A and B are shown apart, each in its own frame.
Chain A
Amino acid sequence: GAVVSQHPSWVICKSGTSVKIECRSLDFQATTMFWYRQFPKQSLMLMATSNEGSKATYEQGVEKDKFLINHASLTLSTLTVTSAHPEDSSFYICSAREGRNPDQYFGPGTRLTVL
């Protein structure tokens, strides 16, 4: 089946620094990618949707200047958490879909801890 990878799988950073998380589709063309975050004991919340070559669409309440999303190719999307703070500590998961195919494939997630 289709595989989505994320890198890194976990990262610890100091408050005020920026962190980049990569999401890659390994064997299909991810025309659309989605970014979610999950706080402990809570469910996944959609942050933004990105289509290859276009600007991301952010959900209400998500700061687009803080969470920079780039989807420059059909196999790679990146999420950059700028000036990270402890409250940004979370589990970030991406998912990807190819064209009009309804199947959506999720990455393994990235655990971000901001000290």
Chain B
Amino acid sequence: KQEVTQIPAALSVPEGENLVLNCSFTDSAIYNLQWFRQDPGKGLTSLLLIQSSQREQTSGRLNASLDKSSGRSTLYIAASQPGDSATYLCAVSRSWGKFQFGAGTQVVVTP
């Protein structure tokens, strides 16, 4: 059974610092991996989707890497801002469209 782990569970950084969020999964036979953002009491916002054949994806200040063989993905957020405060979820898909989520990393960026 696939297990997805996110470390750390919570992170607090001053504005301007870079954020590094880690995600690990036990079964490397994944279809894709996706990073989401969730604000309190809200739904999910997709940040980056990495197909199993890709090593990384970038969007603005966000960069996500994928090492399928070691079962790891890292989300980097450069020059953090208070608006980046949220919970970040990592999810892996084994079969078409069915995601297994990690518990998330709660991020607080202080001004």
A residues contacting B by CB (< 8 A) are: 6, 32, 34, 36, 42-46, 49, 91, 93, 95, 97, 102-109, 111
Contacts and interface: CB of A to CB of B under 8 A. Distances in A.
Given A102-B32, A107-B43, A109-B42, A43 B104 contact: yes
| Interface SS of B by simple majority | strand
A34 B32 contact: no
B98 A44 contact: no
A43 B34 CA distance: 14
B97 A97 contact: yes
Interface residues of B, number: 22
A20 to B, nearest CB: 18
A83 B109 CA distance: 42
A1 B100 CA distance: 24
Contacts of A45: 101
Nearest to A100: B96
